Structure 1
Amino acid sequence: MTTSPIDTQQPAVYLCQVGANVSCGACCGLYNVADASPEGIEAMLERRTRWFAAVPRTVAGLDAFAAQVKASEPQERPFPDFHHCPYLGLIIDDGRRVGCLLHPLAVGNGGVDWRGLSYYGGMACRTYFCPSVRQLPARWLAALGQSMDHWHLHGLIVTERKLLAAFFTAVEKRLGRPVEAGRFTAGSRAATWLNQFAALKTDWPHKRTGAPGPGNYFFEDGRYPRPGVWRENDAIPASPVETILAELDSGFASAAALENAQDRITSIIDGLAAELMPR
């Protein structure tokens, strides 16, 4: 798999480890599993973390752990060429979130950085940032980071560069000005609206037949392009929110279904814009 060129300068808005319960493991293939539900992934990470606690911190021990994980878990992948790292686990401290079991700060590693044993190697693990973080405006990224309250949904939405761009662009068009990241404090009404939009990743009823799970192949190498909105016939019109529908892997058998989907999306856009209007 080809990734974006490594940039050794950390972006201004850091969204990998955000808070006690918010982090992202998407670039390590977290959601590229047969069961990408919150419950399924949490159980997988809990099991790995428990096993890893007893693993000798040697090359042989860590290699054996990876083999054990592979042998114990289904290997069917929505994106077969997207590597899923067996060293993803849970960070449990003052919170609970996804993280790297090989990291020098992980429990039991004694400050030793074992990430060189991972598929992409230690340099990629330390320096890679997804296209969203590199290309989207800082105000949108800050709003996102301040709004999410759980790692599962955070990792699903943060990698959706085109989806987020279309959404925030629509909100700012309604507002007539850029959004203010400071309005998206934890638990605020603005954060609630943004979470409602992010939740479309997991509860969208208009998925086209054959669409992959909620995860996203966000490496922009053209390997798994989204095909656009599926329509059963030419009588189903184009949509003002076409890009959002496409990035949600939508499909429609009727104009009525399309209208229902549009209404759900525009109600969130309008609700957030109204909340952000000057008082």
Structure 2
Amino acid sequence: MNTVYLCQVSPDVSCGACCGLYNVADPSRENLEAMLVRRTRWFASVPRTVAGIDAFKASVEGAEPQERPFPDFHHCPFLGMIENDGCRVGCLLHPLATGNGGVDWRGLSHYGGMACRTYFCPSVRHLPARWLTAVRQSMDHWHLHGLVVTERRLLAAIFTILEDRMGREIEITDFSEPAPAATLLTTLTTLKLHWPFRRRGAPGVCNYFFEDGLYPRPPVKREATSIPTSRFEELFHELDSGFSSVDSMERAEATIEGLLFALDMIRTSQ
């Protein structure tokens, strides 16, 4: 397994995706921040007992909408904010969390303490360390980081395109701040948030990344047989795309080419 750690990266960058953070009706940055801060404030006054923590869980689930894009993907009510040296998503039951006095309460969570301590997402197991390091170096906020870091096939499509364009494997220095490549990678990953060609009926930005076949991502939706396969097919698949016409697919391709043109400009200026 790669040794690149992606869970708690910096004071403002972390990932709560495996705890179902984005599996909510409104996974926008603003809504999630408000939700996490509210839970953290509530939990501060909760007695650290089994009964107190169970009551907190019931209160959260009673106060928040329970609609899920992926109904069988658990959303943990114990997700909150780590605010001691920054502001990022974290576990309210962790022994290092404020108020827990070193006691590990994660055994009261849905998956139990062992899963919380040992689970790493497929990206960590399958993607090259150079790609994962590039992601770490390019993210400045937990919201986008958590959305894309578990998208191993999306990241593979993006980095494959980048390396093909560059004619070599990327290097760590390509993404050292303030390298323009880091900005380009952030822009490419941000497509997940604002992709205008997302197919109708798609679950949104949440990603079911557990590889158990429960929620497979369907092929690119084409509403006409005249729409050909794209040179960016894998990327479009991972962005949950749908095209109503040849023109719409060509506009999507032009969007990607426009971003890659920026990479070409970077290379020629060096």
TM-score range for the pair, normalised by the shorter chain length: over 0.9
| 2:156 aligned residue | 165
Pairwise CA distance, 1:277? 6.8
SS at match of 2:88: strand
SS at match of 1:36: coil
1:190 paired to 2:185: no
Q: 1:231 aligns with which of 222, 229, 247?
A: 222
Judging changes above 3 Å, is the alpha-carbon distance between structure 1 residues 139 and 150 closer, same or farther for their aligned structure 2 residues?
same
CA–CA separation in structure 1 for the residues paired with 2:131 and 2:4: 10
Pairwise CA distance, 1:174? 1.5
CA RMSD, 1 decimal: 1.4
SS at match of 2:26: coil
| 2:34 aligned residue | 43
CA–CA separation in structure 2 for the residues paired with 1:116 and 1:248: 35
1:79-158 alignment, distance < 5 Å? 79-158=70-149
Judging changes above 3 Å, is the alpha-carbon distance between structure 1 residues 130 and 208 closer, same or farther for their aligned structure 2 residues?
same
CA–CA separation in structure 2 for the residues paired with 1:170 and 1:258: 18
1:243-258 alignment, distance < 5 Å? 243-258=234-249
SS at match of 2:107: helix
1:12-31 alignment, distance < 5 Å? 12-31=3-22
| 1:198 partner letter | T
Kindly provide the CA deviation profile for residues 26-72 of structure 1, in whole angstroms up to 9, marking residues without a partner as x: 00000000110001111110110010000000011001101101000
CA–CA separation in structure 2 for the residues paired with 1:187 and 1:90: 28
| 1:126 partner letter | R
Kindly provide the CA deviation profile for residues 100-130 of structure 1, in whole angstroms up to 9, marking residues without a partner as x: 0001110000011111111111111111110
Kindly provide the CA deviation profile for residues 232-256 of structure 1, in whole angstroms up to 9, marking residues without a partner as x: 1111111000011011111111111
Pairwise CA distance, 1:273? 5.6
CA–CA separation in structure 2 for the residues paired with 1:244 and 1:24: 22
CA–CA separation in structure 2 for the residues paired with 1:203 and 1:153: 12
Matched-pair contact (CA < 8 Å) for 2:2–2:128: no
Pairwise CA distance, 1:183? 2.0
| 2:46 partner letter | V
Pairwise CA distance, 1:182? 2.1
Matched-pair contact (CA < 8 Å) for 1:23–1:98: yes
1:202 paired to 2:193: yes
Matched-pair contact (CA < 8 Å) for 1:174–1:270: no
CA–CA separation in structure 2 for the residues paired with 1:171 and 1:118: 40
Pairwise CA distance, 1:272? 3.2
Structure 1 gap segments, 5+ residues each: 1-9
Pairwise CA distance, 1:198? 1.1
| 1:164 partner letter | L
CA–CA separation in structure 2 for the residues paired with 1:269 and 1:121: 44
Judging changes above 3 Å, is the alpha-carbon distance between structure 1 residues 224 and 112 closer, same or farther for their aligned structure 2 residues?
same
CA–CA separation in structure 1 for the residues paired with 2:112 and 2:202: 31
- Give the count of matched residue pairs: 270
Identity %: 65
SS at match of 1:14: coil
SS at match of 1:89: strand
CA–CA separation in structure 1 for the residues paired with 2:11 and 2:268: 31
| 1:155 partner letter | G
CA–CA separation in structure 1 for the residues paired with 2:218 and 2:173: 36
